[in-house]
Structure 1
Amino acid sequence: MQSFSSRFSFILLLVFTLFALIACGNESPAEQVHPPIEVNVVRAVEHSVPIGGLYPGRTVGSKEVQVRARVEGILLRRAYTEGQAVTAGQLLFEIDAAPFEVALNRVKAQLAQANATLSAAQRRWQRAQELIKTNAISRRERDDTESDLDFAKAAVKLAEAEVQAAKINLDYTQVKAPIAGITSREAVSEGSLVGPDNSLLTTITQLDPLWVNVSLPDKLVLGIRRMIERGEAAFEGKREVEIIVGQGEQYPFYGQINFTESAIDRRTGTVQLRAIIPNPDNALLPGQFLRVKLHGLMSLNSIVLPARAVLQGAQGTYVYKVGKDNKAEMVDVTLGMDADEGVIIESGVDAGDLIIVDGVSRVQPGAILDPRELEGANDSSPSEPEPIGPAEGESAQADITAAEGDGE
């Protein structure tokens, strides 16, 4: 009997121990209180900013001239070095001039003959005028003499024109550079017959200044026009372009926009504009691809945030701002154009809002923040944070201490 009581007591002890362990396992632990998250923030401010962005461009010669043979003949000599610079008026090619010299001599002889005929007609006309006074000749003979004089004068003018044309053709045998620039290789070698069907000899490209053709997206151009119509953007100062070559190297000279296409290219969906840019050292070559940045267009009274502050989600773009009690709030935003300082915010952010720019990857809606305001909204790189103020920092720390006390 005593053995049975001992066993029963032992079983009851095991049961109570098991229930105690289960009860201890079901007890919820005290809530963990996370320290505030240190983040860098910028204060949204309305101000005028340059509309930025880099756009593709390609250089072309400001003048590209095809040098052609204007008379038919055998190409005797090339007088320049291919690929080298030439000056305006410099001799490039010589075409066999012998046939043209013969033609010039022939028309000169015809001119001399016409002048002799004119002299004879003038003498006859003078005699006829004296004879008509004494009625020694009829009026008909006098009129015929005057007509012969007019024909002789016309023949002289025709012969003079023929001489001038022959001189021009003879000059065309000396093919000279119409502009200064860089030559291409010769298109026809010496000894070839050149003429109307085979006239291209070489090409000259003027390198200083150069033209830069820029392709702007149609949405950008239409957006700029709408902003200007609404008074949200305006041109200030010179309409210049900045050239970026290679791996972000800035070209030392700025260009001036001198042409804008009035229609959208249906093949590419872009609008073409052209800028003229100095190229004194021939550092740029025609056909070179580069990036172009526009200057002079300002977005007025705009809120601009650094690009790193804007996040992309399934529902669109958003930012985190510092809300009441330093709690993080997620705000949907509508983006505008790129600006030099970041991206323009069209809606979702008001002036004075504190927007998180650094540490945003650790933030969730409702998280307690320890915000440090950067000096300017146009600061595009992380910097040493500065506390917003002792009052806000102390308030956040007091909340955390109180929460820890409650947990204990």
Structure 2
Amino acid sequence: MLPAKMLKNYIGLGAVMVMLLTAGCGGPQESAQQKAVPVRAIKILQQNVQITNEYAGQVQAKNEVKIQARVSGNIIEKMVSGGDLVKAGQPLYRIDGTQYESTLLSAQAQLVQAEVNLENARTDTERYQSLLNAAAIAEQRLTTQKAAERQNEALVSSYRALVRKAQDDVNSTLVVSPIDGRIDVNDVSVGTYVQAGSTALVTVGALDPVFVQFNMSENEYLNLRQISQNNLANSGWGDNVMITLSNGAAYPLSGKVTQADRSLANNSGTLALKASFANPDGILIPGMFARVKIAGAPIKNAVLVPQRAVQQILDKSLVTVVNAENKAEPRAVTLGEKVGSFWLVKDGLTVNDIVVVEGLTKVQEGAALDVTIVTPAELALSINS
């Protein structure tokens, strides 16, 4: 008969073995269900799409004028403040015009004297002509008088030009805006001495419309031009340009490419273009950055995979495919451009494949999957940018 202590140990060991046997009595189907990883998957899409090309752009004023003084002198009056909206012809500054007003008065007095001398010369010419007709004077006397008359006419013309120049200088002491727009904050102050033709008083830029400048490669430019020529229904490859602002908001109005540089940039091999955008609410400010979007080439029967289904590992793009046995199968794919919420797939997938879009972090290669098929609409996926 076994001692009580040893008997107790045997009984405990037997109980553990019974528990292990009981745990392992489940069938193969029950074990597989316990190991299957729940995931959501989507069937690969195949449909016609149009690629959207994106470029980094910057807003520029369509008309920007650096206003300089046309006469020299001290600023004695300032009618605006930095950042103000101004209209064409609106006064901005007044320059001390005392010396220019004096010059104008002097030129006007000289003109009056010259006009009087010319009138007297014409009277003398008429009188000498009468005397010559009466044979009272020599012909040379009349010839000399006519020369004096022409000299007085030249003096009158000269003084009239001086008066116009002096009047223009007086008018230029009032500096006005040449265009509608907004002035910058780096303006000059009252009391500043400005030099004609060299001192910049302020810069004014038009706000509506504005340009968005961007660069594209030579191949992109040629491809877009080819699209326009092949599609007669399209009025032009740059007629419907959209932009997204730095905060992610889409600008509500479309623009149109209106300018292209005459040559490629030597350092980058890219072509600079400008698209014009209406800016009635003043949302676009020169210097802003924007993402420029232009419709590119249409692609027939494009194979599309959701961006969220793609994992980037080093230099490879991988997706997890649900194979015929409902198991996870990693697969490398070659991607093209982004199309809305999807990637264009160049190689690695077909329209018959199903890929995991949710639950990827829990899936390992060869793992059994508990798959729930979902649609693009359920995941809020769209091919539109």
TM-score range, shorter chain: 0.7 to 0.9
Indicate the SS of the match to 1:118. helix
Whether contact under 8 Å (1:42, 1:376) holds in the other structure is: no
- Report the CA distance between 1:229 and its aligned residue: 4.5
- Report the CA distance between 1:179 and its aligned residue: 1.9
Whether contact under 8 Å (1:128, 1:137) holds in the other structure is: yes
- Report the CA distance between 1:298 and its aligned residue: 4.1
Indicate the SS of the match to 2:206. strand
Structure-2 separation of matches of 1:153 and 1:374: 93
Q: Cα deviation per residue 1:293-333 (whole Å; 9 max; x = unaligned)?
A: 41433433243332233344567335455666777766554
Letter of the 1:206 counterpart: A
- Report the CA distance between 1:166 and its aligned residue: 0.7
Q: Cα deviation per residue 1:321-355 (whole Å; 9 max; x = unaligned)?
A: 566677776655433222234222334445x3434
1:346 aligned onto 2:346: yes
1:222 aligned onto 2:223: no
Letter of the 2:295 counterpart: G
Indicate the SS of the match to 1:212. strand
Q: 1:372 maps to which residue?
A: 373
Structure-2 separation of matches of 1:367 and 1:109: 106
Root-mean-square deviation over aligned CA pairs: 3.9
Which runs of 5 or more residues in structure 2 are unaligned?
1-26
Q: Cα deviation per residue 1:160-208 (whole Å; 9 max; x = unaligned)?
A: 1111111000001111122222233464332332223862222223333
Letter of the 2:293 counterpart: L
Structure-2 separation of matches of 1:227 and 1:329: 39
Structure-1 separation of matches of 2:369 and 2:200: 76
Indicate the SS of the match to 2:298. strand
Letter of the 2:373 counterpart: R
Alignment of 1:85-164 (within 5 A): 85-164=85-164
Q: CA 1:186–1:39 in 2, change beyond 3 Å: closer, same or farther?
A: closer
Q: 1:70 maps to which residue?
A: 70
Q: 1:243 maps to which residue?
A: 244
Q: 1:278 maps to which residue?
A: 278
Indicate the SS of the match to 1:303. strand
Whether contact under 8 Å (1:50, 1:340) holds in the other structure is: no
Q: CA 1:280–1:120 in 2, change beyond 3 Å: closer, same or farther?
A: same
Q: 2:14 maps to which residue?
A: none
- Report the CA distance between 1:259 and its aligned residue: 2.6
- Report the CA distance between 1:209 and its aligned residue: 2.9
Q: 1:12 maps to which residue?
A: none
Structure-2 separation of matches of 1:326 and 1:262: 58
- Report the CA distance between 1:92 and its aligned residue: 1.6
Q: CA 1:201–1:158 in 2, change beyond 3 Å: closer, same or farther?
A: same
Structure-1 separation of matches of 2:228 and 2:132: 89
Structure-2 separation of matches of 1:333 and 1:232: 33
Q: Cα deviation per residue 1:252-310 (whole Å; 9 max; x = unaligned)?
A: 33333333345555666765433333333333433233x32414334332433322333
Whether contact under 8 Å (2:50, 2:295) holds in the other structure is: no
Q: CA 1:185–1:363 in 2, change beyond 3 Å: closer, same or farther?
A: closer
Q: CA 1:222–1:331 in 2, change beyond 3 Å: closer, same or farther?
A: farther
Q: Cα deviation per residue 1:196-232 (whole Å; 9 max; x = unaligned)?
A: 386222222333333333355x4xx634634765899
Q: CA 1:340–1:322 in 2, change beyond 3 Å: closer, same or farther?
A: same
Whether contact under 8 Å (1:328, 1:363) holds in the other structure is: yes
- Report the CA distance between 1:369 and its aligned residue: 8.6
| TM-score, normalised relative to structure 1 | 0.69
Whether contact under 8 Å (2:240, 2:254) holds in the other structure is: no
Q: 1:206 maps to which residue?
A: 206
Structure-1 separation of matches of 2:184 and 2:283: 18
Q: CA 1:273–1:338 in 2, change beyond 3 Å: closer, same or farther?
A: farther
Q: 2:167 maps to which residue?
A: 167
| TM-score, normalised relative to structure 2 | 0.73
Q: CA 1:245–1:231 in 2, change beyond 3 Å: closer, same or farther?
A: closer
Indicate the SS of the match to 2:63. strand
- Report the CA distance between 1:104 and its aligned residue: 0.7
Indicate the SS of the match to 2:283. coil
Q: CA 1:377–1:337 in 2, change beyond 3 Å: closer, same or farther?
A: farther
Structure-2 separation of matches of 1:364 and 1:228: 46
Alignment of 1:189-338 (within 5 A): 189-196=189-196, 199-216=199-216, 218=217, 222-223=219-220, 225-226=222-223, 229=226, 236=234, 238-246=239-247, 248-261=248-261, 263-265=263-265, 271-289=271-289, 291-301=290-300, 302-313=302-313, 316-319=316-319, 332-338=332-338
Letter of the 1:380 counterpart: L
Equivalenced residues, count: 345
Structure-1 separation of matches of 2:101 and 2:245: 55
Percent identity between the aligned chains?
25
Which moves more between the two structures, 62-71 or 179-188?
Answer: 179-188
Letter of the 1:49 counterpart: Q
Whether contact under 8 Å (1:212, 1:277) holds in the other structure is: yes
Q: CA 1:228–1:113 in 2, change beyond 3 Å: closer, same or farther?
A: closer
